[in-house]
Amino acid sequence: SSRDMAEPWPPYSSSSRGKKKRPRSPNDDATSSQGRTENSTSLEDNLIFSDTLIALQLMRTQFPKLEKVVTQPFILQSQLYSSVKDRTQVDRDLESLKKDRVLRVFKLNTGQDDHAIMFMDDYLKQMESAVRRSKGKNQDCSEVFEWFEKYVLPSKLDVSIDHLELCSLLSHGGDARDKHITLLMNAGLLTRQLIDPNMYWFSIPSIGPILKGLTQVCTSWLFYSFVQILWC
């Protein structure tokens, strides 16, 4: 049915609400180069999983594998709201998980008021690929990527950041200049806001091929129809 095509991730339901004993993490067997994600993984290991996090992990495992699109799994916040009925609890859980560095939330540039949720381990892998491509094109100022990961990401958990704060955080690593910020934008880690050029969205690198088909989409549900079309 059309509903089935538009909903590749089944709604999550639980007979017992509230906190759960931690199941196996989707990244338990994964190792990270240079130990970059050890902190976030250890934090995740110590969490008591809620319905929200269990649903996120289930959706992550069912993210379509697209041959022509190289991206780590992410989940639409609107889909999470549809899967876990207590929206207020979802918002609380997301705030807690962001503070614990388990995941990040990103504003999607689709013309719709929706957000993408990505586990921190997956985001760092996505970022690492983007940095590798960027360094291959231009070695100059590449130190900014280390500054961004070390000083900006842990300090700024919101979906956006203003120019002055960005420069201030980057300056903990060195003399941050406009050319450094341009490099971050070219790598897909930041997107300048159209309404206010002094504000930037944090963004997920290399999801353009997926988001490109969403410019005329009226509802976020159609996102999954689009992904399934690519998948098939």
pLDDT tens digit sequence for 17-63: 444 444 444 454 444 444 454 444 444 444 556 889 999 999 999 88
209 domain residue, yes or no: yes
pTM of the model: 0.71
| Domain ranges, residue 99 | 51-230
Q: Position of tokens 């129809």?
A: 225
Q: 128-151 as b/e, with b when 16 or more CB fall inside 10 Å?
A: bbbbeebeeeeeebeebbebbbeb
Report the number of distinct structural domains present in the chain.
Answer: 1
Cα separation, 37 vs 27, in Å, equals: 10
Cα separation, 87 vs 93, in Å, equals: 10
Query: What does the block give as tokens for 147?
Result: 């500054």
169 domain residue, yes or no: yes
1 domain residue, yes or no: no
Regions of the chain with pLDDT less than 70: 1-49, 66-69, 111, 138-139, 211-232
